[in-house]
Amino acid sequence: MFGEVQIAPSLLSADFANLERAVRLIEQGSPEWLHVDVMDGHFVPNLTIGPPVIKSLNKLTNIPLDVHLMISNPAEQLDWYLDAGADLITVHVECANGAVQAASAAGASPSIEQVEDPGKLLALIARIHAAGRQAGISLNPDTPARAVFPFVDAVELILVMSVHPGFGGQSFIASAPDKVAQLVAHARTLGVSPLIEVDGGINAITAPLVTAQGADLLVAGNAIFNAPDPLVALEQIRRAVAHG
Ligand code: DX5
Ligand code: ZN
């Protein structure tokens, strides 16, 4: 049977002018992670949080920071996020082949069929590990599960995007549970069990669809921070995926 499901509230849907208030509130729900979405205006058509804000968040809270890098050139900028105090750093596999097409519109995102030279991303993952942090690999909705197979036994976490990245509050893409199942099955054949995280459109209705396939960690932004009571919303997601 699968283990206890972890929750990572995404600050993307919090009030950026009141991040401390959002963090203090959500701390009361004891989430396992705080999900921080970093966007560079190129990999995704939006700009959000960068290293200085992550540094401040790291001082503010003891909740581990799950930093999701939606940036085109993670190799060049990785040290910024290590220095800022990210506990877990996830990079996108779509960056692996060098050139990443700029994403210019919401609801679309880059995809790749396969990685030409896994060595480059493996080296990046090794840099994250050398700094004593956990590493994740993420894939966009149109990238097939097999594109991340070369990294499954090298990372602590695989992040399945269940929306095209860039914005909170989008609808869950129905192919995500099957992708989770494929990744869990492949990890099993390798004898490893990285955390499977799902990000995008997660709420109390969609959460069980992915945990039923083996997802361990759920990101939720809109469903938590735009709820009348974020703590109640967090609890509703937990209850929706509780075993037994
Ligand atoms: C989207 C981000 C998500 C976002 C999810 O690009 O990666 O982490 O915050 O937001 P919801 O839960 O609102 O879909
Ligand atoms: Zn995210």
**Residue boundaries of the structural domains of the chain:** 6-242
Question: What is the rounded average pLDDT of the residues 83-108?
Answer: 93
For residue 145, name the pLDDT band (cuts at 50, 70, 90): very high
Q: Report the number of secondary-structure helices (H) and strands (E) in the chain.
A: 8, 8
**Best mutation site among 92, 170, 206, 224 for ligand 1 pocket (most ligand atoms within 8 Å of CB):** 170
- The DSSP secondary structure of 210-242, one letter per residue, reads HHTTT--EEEESHHHHTSSSHHHHHHHHHHHH-
Question: What is the rounded average pLDDT of the residues 158-185?
Answer: 98
Predicted confidence at residue 112, as pLDDT, reads 96
Separation of 33 CA from ligand 2 center, angstroms?
12
pTM over 0.95: yes
Q: State yes or no: pLDDT of 2 exceeds 70.
A: no
Nearest to 158 by CA among 180, 138, 187, 131: 138
Question: In whole angstroms, what is the distance from residue 9 CA to residue 220 CA?
Answer: 5
Domain 6-242 has CATH 3.20.20.70: yes
Q: How many residues does the chain have?
A: 244
220 ligand 1 Cβ < 6 A: yes
Predicted confidence at residue 104, as pLDDT, reads 76
For residue 1, name the pLDDT band (cuts at 50, 70, 90): very low
Active-site annotation holder among 40, 66, 199, 216: 199
Question: In whole angstroms, what is the distance from residue 57 CA to residue 62 CA?
Answer: 9
Q: What would the pLDDT profile of 187-220 be if each residue is shown by its tens digit?
A: 999 999 999 999 999 999 999 999 999 999 999 9
Is the separation of the CB atoms in 5 and 30 below 8 Å?
no
